[in-house]
A and B are shown apart, each in its own frame.
Chain A
């Protein structure tokens, strides 16, 4: 027991040193592990050659170039991204992540890099859904662990259906297995292009999207923010937005 106490003591004493010993230096040495879930076009998705492409991918690559860091892309399920970040398997989550107060309790966010509303999407032949409250009694498809899932859960009487992938949630609406879909506008546009029988019926409040980082990696976050500001000022961020979202 005393031995265990000693170990704890040593770890506790070493901890502040380890934390101060910067995340930035560590990722510069070994590369930045970036987690994403490539099922969220146009933020990140697989192209015809099964390569990960998208807005987030270009953005992180530009930021990393600015910082002189090598990037390792790690893909996994969306709802496992923040747990993987907290478990230090990845250093950054780049997955079109909405900045929410709840997530801020567990992780830090970079400067927001995209703002825009969430939208409600239904089939063109589904009547009577014009605002959030109309979803009461309706089956609402969302992705598990998403900010939109939270919005759907907040609607009294809505029956929330959480799918692993956003593409499955959209397919559920398309095949009438769900009545509506709540999704970020930019992603919703991609779905509507794919399924012409879907349409946007309402726009909700605007939300900010950011990169998530561990709280103890403040130095890395600051470096990312500085690099992001540079991209904004040079107009490169705008260029990127124009390329993927217009």
Chain B
């Protein structure tokens, strides 16, 4: 074991970890925004829109993320005759992929609120949109925090797939050092510890949010 090697390369690994954090944060943000739109479309009374959205979700859940990344990075530039840098391609692929999962999480959160509440709010004279805004969504959001954080954690770990299109995120940083020094064990150990640190931090934040936003039932 060569711990000096880990110490010497730690700044480089931390640079990679920072890229990992940026990709994850941006993708989660865009994923939630896009996912919200997808949920609305999915729950829309328009049958064709709902069916189209279902197709979108199944397509994204049913194909490997790595293939989606390659499609966007290598395929899209040929299609639109425009270059995309690997960071943008990565964030785009992850945001689109994540939106499918986020949409299903939000839908299940909204549908988990008993029908009686909606009926009660409407009969109290609230409009449908007020019912959604003041009664349904606040409760739904607290329920979806744990699965959304789950999505965040898997995004964070899946961002290692971007190493394949030469984004120097944490995994690629570790691979670069390992392939230079021929010491994979030390490097991947350090890399896994850094991932663990980041996911533990996310879990901790999530528990805080749950406590803060909990709605008494």
Contact = CB atoms under 8 A, between A and B. Distances in A.
Contact of A86 (B86, B179, B180, B182): B182
Interface string A131-150: 00000000001001100000
Q: How many interface residues does chain B have, given as a range?
A: 20 to 34
Contacts of B85: 177
Q: How many interface residues does chain A have, given as a range?
A: 10 to 19
B74 A171 contact: yes
Given A163-B164, A175-B74, A176-B77, A144 B182 contact: no
B26 to A, nearest CB: 20
Contact of B77 (A79, A106, A177): A177
A161 interface: yes
A83 B175 CA distance: 12
A83 B182 contact: yes
A177 B184 contact: no
A177 B180 contact: no
A21 interface: no
Interface string A51-62: 000000000000
B5 interface: no
B73 interface: yes
A162 interface: yes
Contacts of A175: 74, 77-78
Contacts, number: 45
A154 interface: no
A83 B178 contact: yes
A164 B164 CA distance: 6
B190 interface: no
A39 interface: no
B182 A106 contact: yes
B183 interface: yes
Interface in A141-181: 141, 144-145, 161-164, 168, 171-172, 175-177
A192 B165 CA distance: 21
Contacts of A162: 166, 172, 175-176
B117 interface: no
A168 B86 CA distance: 13
Interface in B28-64: none
B74 A144 contact: no
A82 interface: yes
Nearest to B163: A164
Sorted from nearest, which 9 A-B pairs have the closest CB atoms? Answer: A145-B179, A79-B179, A161-B166, A83-B184, A82-B182, A175-B77, A176-B83, A106-B182, A83-B182
Given A82-B182, A162-B175, A162-B176, 6 more contacts: A79-B175, A161-B86, A162-B166, A172-B74, A175-B78, A177-B165
27 contacts: A79-B175, A79-B179, A80-B184, A83-B178, A83-B182, A83-B183, A83-B184, A86-B182, A106-B182, A144-B175, A145-B180, A161-B86, A161-B166, A162-B176, A163-B164, A163-B165, A163-B166, A164-B163, A168-B164, A172-B74, A175-B74, A175-B78, A176-B77, A176-B83, A177-B74, A177-B77, A177-B83
Interface of B: 73-74, 77-78, 83-86, 163-166, 172, 175-176, 178-180, 182-184
